[in-house]
Structure 1
Amino acid sequence: MVDKKRNDEVDPTDDVPTDPVVEDSSVDDDTIDDEALADDFIDVGDADEVPEELREDRPDPAAVPKTGLVSEFHDLSASQAAYLVAHRETSSVSRSPLFYVTSLLLGVAVIAAMIIGFQQAGAGPGEGEGSDTLAIVGVPQEQVDAFSQQLGLPAVAVEDQAAGEALLRSGEAGAVYVLDPTGMQPASLLALNRDPEAILDKLNQPVPVDYLEQPAVAPVLGDPVAWGLGIVVALAGLTLGAALYQNLRTEKRNRLAEVIASTIPARSSAWGRVYGLSLLSLTFTLIAAGVLLVGLSIGQQTTIAMALLPVLGWFALIALMTVFIILSAHLWVATSASRRVRRIGYAAVVLLTVAGVLAPLVLRTQETVMLWLSYTPFTAPVAMPMRYLAGQAEWWEGLASAGASAVVGVIVFWLASAAYQRTLLRGAGRSGRKAKAGVAAKSGSTAKNDSTAKSDSTSKRSPAKSKA
């Protein structure tokens, strides 16, 4: 063999290594010392030695708050997803100018209702004020006549307190003047369910008043209060319902609904919208109740304020259920694919809300009608407080009315959420009906067959023309 570079002859055995590698048979792979390899590896279990870029920052599942704000670490539950949607809806609505304007109008309306009520109460005794006759217990008629001439108001003598209570319930007397037989205790005044203002003004000294029934509010003050409660329900339901409707249409127009549906279940999204705005409606109730109670306290009408407290409590509960129904109806209407159906449905919801507020105010003199209206949704938040103001309802009737409204609200929300889920996930054509691709495919195949037949007929005619 000749080396071409040096033109020298090369021995073929030169490439063979003279010192071959000799393996140490004494070393076994299975007996390698682990301590010898420990220096060549990094313990990834020690977080201090792992680089910052390679660390995994995962919270302890037991320490995760139940708010859904850590959704990037784990899947959301139904309640957490609903909370996220509710927080988003309430934040956007509460920061809108419409919310502030509505709150301001509500406060002004309550103040106007109080002014009208005070003016009507100061104009003179009206309907339901009761008689200004004073029944005196245990005093001869001669002394009663002298007492009547001295005070300048009519007075009658009764044998005992039971006879005086009978006169109170029949309306023949406005109050019963009860004297202590021993003379050790001061005299007291017994009234039916409100302070006898005409009699108290004639007495020379303040007398404590006891009531036979739960204190009620006079009609001259109760009617403006009822109008104020109706305004609260109408403004809360229509304002928040309009905001819910507008948000849904905006998300549908901007394709945000699909983005939300990809991360949050449709039913949780619907529940979060409705219950979040329902709780926000309590803000209007608190504003109205606060302005009313403060105004009555400033006007030194603490008795009326105390009588209104249970009425306002039942109103808040029933109004919350009614607003839930109104918002569920707005959700149902907003999911329709037809613009005409949406317009008709929205107008129907507004009409039901306004009619439910006005019906008890117009029919307040019909006791039987008011009984039925107090258990009917849309009319219950105004009718039931009016019955409490008049002292015609038992304590459990408010709970029954709220329960009836809650049942109707659950049914309406179930229908609305089903429509929302069907429209959002399955896709819907006009009027919410499922789009059918079979018609288009059939028409396409028919057109294709027609074109094929036409081309075949043309090809058959062409040879005939060529022969001609």
Structure 2
Amino acid sequence: MTATTTAATPAAPGADLRGLWRLVARREVSVRLRDKGFVVSTVLLLLIVLASMFLPPLLAGGPDRYEVAVTARTAPLLAAPGADGGAAAGTEGTVVVAREVADAAAAEALVRDGAVDAALLPGASARAEIVGGTSVPQGLLEVLTERVAAQQLVSGLVEAGVPPQRVGELLATPPPATRLLDPDAVDPVTAMLLGIAFAVLFFQVVLIFGFSIAQSVVQEKQTRVIELLVTAVPVRQLLVGKIVGNGLLAFGQMALLVGVGLAGFALSDREALASLPSLPLAAGWFLVFFVFGFAMLSCLWAAAGAMASRLEDLQSTATPVQFLVMIPFFAAVFVRDPGPVLTALSYVPLSSPLVMPRRVLAGDAAVWEPFAALALIVVTALVLVVVARRLYENSLLQTGRTLGFRAAWRRPV
């Protein structure tokens, strides 16, 4: 209650009331920073961002490791072509270890007992056969097929009279070189996923802070604290201070999340970050769009809170604002492919904060397009601020009943 008393202190005669919004903003910041819910939600969002960066590589684990039973006749088939027939063979992401046994019966016994993943045994017509229990893992099957085919090819060349040295030279022929026509192009799937991540962050933070603004307005009305506040601070200054205070906190939280996300991305997958040269620019534009998008919507949350008389009534007055947040979010998530629809969404003021950063990341937006979309948001924000301010001013001191839009729009007599 200390912060409330400070905000409600009457101004001295002749004092400039235009700067009182700073006191209200300071009160909002101090109250939210002491709120355990705000601290916990910030920590949870940070954990979600970090988990999305580090958990996939950790859950993927190391290379798949398999153990295969072989006999003296089939052990050389498992060695890499040109090698001396070591005990282990593998390709990228797969390691195969050979376990030599006396005969085929012993190998099959190990397979039945589950001691090995499969067995490589001599088959009919000089062919080898891969023996499994109920099934053979696909990765192991691919490695065994590749290795056996390569070794049989080597044996066939030697039997055909090709000198072993020449066989080694043929097998040592380097693979084809890779040349990219557009090496700086961003992978569309990566751009889509990061764009969705931006949209989710925007949606979460705006929804959390929006409900918090609306709830604080209702609580001030329900406890009659608002009647004390308006004796010291004009209603318009209350609205400005509440929006600025919560906006500073929301931007700070969002900047922290984006910064931690970029740092985690750089640590967990540097190659992917190097392939996304436009990511820092897209993150910067996302923060800019977030500031104006939050300003555009937060005043409507305050108006929704002023129109309710109790916390139980807030859901009904806040539903239109929720739709203004949720519909653009789902549109940004479900429209994934670049094209006219995504381009149009990047210019619609309610969805452009979620879509334009994705287009910047993908390199699909010209230099001037984010500025044009931002200008449309500013114009829309000015209109919505005027509408929300009237609803807020007309509803704030009306208690005892929940106001509809028409009733809140009419000036009280």
Task: Report the TM range for the smaller structure's normalisation.
Answer: 0.5 to 0.7
Give the equivalent residue in structure 2 for 1:325: 296
Residues 367 and 271 (structure 1 numbering): CA distance in 2 closer, same or farther, change over 3 Å?
A: same
Alpha-carbon distance in structure 2 between the residues aligned to 1:82 and 1:392? 41
8 Å contact kept, 1:293–1:305: no
- Shift of the alpha carbon at 1:347? 2.3
Q: For the residues of structure 1 that align with 2:412 and 2:209, how far apart are their CA atoms?
A: 36
CA offset digits 1:368-424 (Å, max 9, x no partner): 111111111332122111111211001221122222112212211211111222234
Structure 2 counterpart of 1:384: 356
Is residue 307 of structure 1 aligned with residue 278 of structure 2?
A: yes
State the alpha-carbon separation in 2 of the partners of residues 310 and 80 from structure 1.
35
User: For residue 10 of structure 1, what is the aligned residue in structure 2?
Assistant: none
Match of 1:153 among 176, 192, 205: 176
Give ranges in structure 2 of 5+ residues lacking alignment.
1-6, 64-91, 93-171
Distance 1:423 1:282 in 2: 28
Structure 2 SS opposite 1:193 = coil
TM-superposed deviation, 1:314: 0.6
Q: How much does 1:325 deviate?
A: 2.2
Q: CA deviation at 1:353?
A: 1.5
1:148-190 residue CA offsets vs partner (Å, 9 max, x unmatched): x9541256xxxxxxxxxxxxxxxxx514xxxxxxxxxxxxxxx
Structure 1 residue identity aligned to 2:184: N
Residues 78 and 407 of structure 1: CA distance in aligned 2, closer, same or farther (over 3 Å): farther
Q: Does 1:422 align with 2:394?
A: yes
Q: 1:272 aligns with which of 241, 247, 251?
A: 241
The corresponding residue for 2:184 is: 193
**Greater CA drift, 354-363 or 239-248:** 354-363
Distance in 2 between the 1:412 and 1:436 partners?
21
Contact 1:114 1:224 survives alignment (8 Å): no
Partners of 1:276 and 1:400 in 2: how far apart?
27
| Contact 2:221 2:309 (8 Å CA) reproduced | no
Alignment correspondent of 2:229: 260
d(CA) in 2 for partners of 1:69 and 1:258? Answer: 9
Query: What's the CA shift string for 1:278-305, capped at 9, x where partnerless?
Result: 2221112212222122113323345256
Amino acid at match of 1:414: V
Query: Does 1:94 find its partner at 2:33?
Result: yes
Aligned counterparts of 2:249 and 2:215: Cα–Cα separation in 1: 17
What residue is the counterpart of 1:410 in the other structure?
A: 382
Distance 1:304 1:294, change over 3 A: farther
Task: Give the alignment's Cα RMSD to 1 decimal.
Answer: 3.4
Once the two structures are overlaid, the 10-residue window that deviates more, 406-415 or 312-321, is 406-415
Is the 2:329–2:351 Cα contact (8 Å) retained in structure 1?
yes
Partner SS, residue 307 of structure 2: coil
1:276 maps to amino acid? G
* CA shift for structure 1 position 348: 2.7
CA distance in 2 between partners of 1:380 and 1:435 (Å):
33
The reply on whether 1:232 has 2:206 as its aligned counterpart is no
Contact 2:309/2:400 (8 A) holds in 1: no
Contact 1:285 / 1:316 at 8 angstroms: preserved in 2? yes
C-alpha distance in 1 between matches for 2:307 and 2:10: 31
Offset of residue 366 of structure 1 = 4.6
Answering whether residue 221 of structure 2 is matched by residue 221 of structure 1, we say no
Partner residue, 2:256: 287
1:103 equivalent in structure 2: 42
2:16 maps to 77
Contact map agreement 1:325 1:413 (CA 8 A) in 2: yes
Please tell me whether the aligned partners of residues 296 and 305 of structure 1 are also in contact (alpha carbons under 8 angstroms): no
The corresponding residue for 1:297 is 266
Taking the aligned partners of 2:35 and 2:320, their CA distance within structure 1 comes to 25
Going from structure 1 to structure 2, the CA distance change for 1:336 and 1:436 (only over 3 Å counts) comes to closer
Greater Cα shift, 330-339 or 253-262: 330-339
Match of 2:332 among 353, 356, 360: 360
Q: How does 1:198-209 map to 2 (within 5 A)?
A: none
* Structure 2 residue identity aligned to 1:174: L
Are positions 1:243 and 2:212 aligned together?
Answer: yes
Given that 2:8 and 2:233 are in contact with CA atoms closer than 8 Å, whether structure 1 keeps it comes out as: no
The answer (yes or no) to whether the contact 1:114–1:292 under 8 Å persists in 2 is yes
Q: Which amino acid aligns with 1:239?
A: I
> In the superposition, relative to structure 1, how do residues 305 and 88 fare at CA in structure 2: closer, same or farther (>3 Å)?
farther
Question: CA separation in 1, counterparts of 2:383 and 2:24?
Answer: 21
Equivalent-residue separation in structure 2 for 1:401 and 1:435 (angstroms): 34
Q: How many residues align?
A: 292
Structure 2 counterpart of 1:21: none
SS at match of 2:255: helix
Question: Which residue of 347, 367, 374 maps to 1:395?
Answer: 367
Q: 1:109: Cα distance to partner?
A: 2.3
Task: Please state whether the residue corresponding to 1:111 is helix, strand or coil.
Answer: helix
1:174 to 177, 180, 192: 180
Higher relative CO (CA 8 A, sep ≥ 6), structure 1 or 2?
2
Question: Does the residue aligned with 1:355 lie in a helix, a strand or coil?
Answer: helix
Q: Based on CA coordinates, which of the two structures has the bigger radius of gyration?
A: 1
Tell me, yes or no, if the aligned pair for 1:266 and 1:421 is still in contact at 8 Å.
yes
CA distance in 2, matches of 1:110, 1:396: 30
Cα shift readout 1:96-133 (whole Å, capped 9, x = no counterpart): 1221122122212222333477699x999xxxxxxxxx
